[in-house]
């Protein structure tokens, strides 16, 4: 069971251990079943790496996250302006909503507003709830999530603020991903160590006398 580290990508086992593994591999009959020592095909390795990248990209909180109450703050403030009130009375809700959207085209929240469109009826439902939260000067609207028709404290668990309350905002890098990175690292490390203890994949067992697929390499003549 001694380990060697001079060629870690080839083998982590001593030559004698590798030799014993080869002999056992060719001699053993597991209920009539035998195994080859092929490496993971390169396209499959590429597919595994693509899967890892895809796993993070497709689950990034951006995709599918709920809107925060903060993105509607300017919409709600605009509702009470004389201009919008006048449009509602003369042209109706749809025209007023279109004007509110146009007024906020250059808002830093424009991208999120685009992903979470609302109509005037939605805003009327949200308005009193968001205004109630805005009455508290120390409260950040970004800590609140719109779970229509309700506005709720978000279920993120960020750092503590000086007042003892938690930050309830989506971090760009969720701590769930950090745990995933740890899992992935331990997994690939573990599997690599396991397979590198085997004879190198350049060697293939010959399972019987007539097995000539990989040349003359039989260890149990």
The piece of 11-19, 29-37, 73-81, 95-103 that touches another protein (CB under 8 A) is 29-37
Yes or no: say if 130 and 138 are a contact pair by the CB < 8 Å rule. Answer: no
Cα distance between residue 72 and residue 131, in whole Å: 11
Q: Binding to another protein by residue 111, rule CB under 8 A?
A: no
CB of 14 to another protein, least distance (A): 18
CB-nearer residue toward another protein: 110 or 193? 193
Return the number of the residue (10 or 65) whose C-beta is nearest another protein: 65
- Taking alpha carbons only, the member of 214, 188, 189 closest to residue 200 is 214
- Determine if 58 is a binding residue for another protein (CB under 8 A): yes
* Pick 18 or 84: Cβ nearer another protein: 18
Strand partners, 144: 153
The correct pick among 82, 162, 176, 221 for binding another protein (CB under 8 A) is 176
Buried b (16+ CB within 10 A) or exposed e, 160-199: eeeeeeeebeeeeeeeeeeeeeeeeeeeeeeeeeeebebb
In terms of Cβ atoms closer than 10 Å to its own Cβ (0-12, 13-18, 19+), residue 20 is middle
The residue within the footprint of another protein, chosen from 90, 138, 155, 202 (CB under 8 A), is 155
Token representation of residue 52: 């890892």
Closer CB to another protein, 127 or 214, in the complex = 214
Q: Closest distance between another protein and the C-beta of residue 126, in Å?
A: 17
User: Alpha-carbon distance 57 to 201, whole Å?
Assistant: 33
For residue 166, list its beta bridge partners: 160
Among 14, 40, 111, 212, binds another protein (CB under 8 A): 40
Which residues are at the interface with another protein (CB under 8 A)? Answer: 24-25, 28-41, 44, 47-48, 51-52, 54-56, 58-59, 61, 63-65, 154-157, 170, 174-177, 179-180, 183-184, 186-187, 190-191, 194-195, 198, 201, 205, 207
């Amino acid at each position: 069971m001694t380990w060697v580290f001079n060629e870690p990508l080839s083998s982590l086992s001593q030559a004698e251990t590798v030799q014993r593994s080869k002999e056992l591999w060719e001699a053993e009959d597991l209920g009539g079943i035998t195994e080859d020592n092929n490496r993971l095909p390169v396209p499959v390795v590429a597919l595994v790496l693509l899967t890892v990248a895809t796993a993070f990209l497709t689950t990034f909180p951006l995709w599918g996250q709920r809107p925060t109450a903060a993105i509607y703050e300017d919409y709600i403030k605009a509702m009470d302006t004389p201009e919008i009130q006048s449009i509602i009375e003369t042209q109706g809700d749809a025209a007023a909503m279109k004007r509110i959207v146009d007024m906020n085209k250059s808002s830093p929240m424009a991208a999120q507003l685009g992903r979470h469109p609302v109509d005037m009826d939605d805003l009327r439902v949200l308005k009193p709830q968001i205004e109630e939260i805005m009455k508290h000067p120390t409260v950040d609207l970004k800590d609140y999530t719109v779970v229509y028709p309700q506005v709720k404290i978000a279920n993120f668990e960020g750092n503590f603020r000086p007042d003892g309350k938690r930050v309830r905002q989506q971090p760009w890098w969720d701590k769930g991903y950090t745990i995933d990175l740890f899992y992935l690292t331990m997994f690939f490390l573990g599997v690599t160590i396991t397979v590198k203890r085997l004879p190198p994949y350049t060697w293939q067992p010959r399972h019987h006398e007539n097995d000539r697929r990989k040349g003359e390499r039989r260890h149990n003549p």
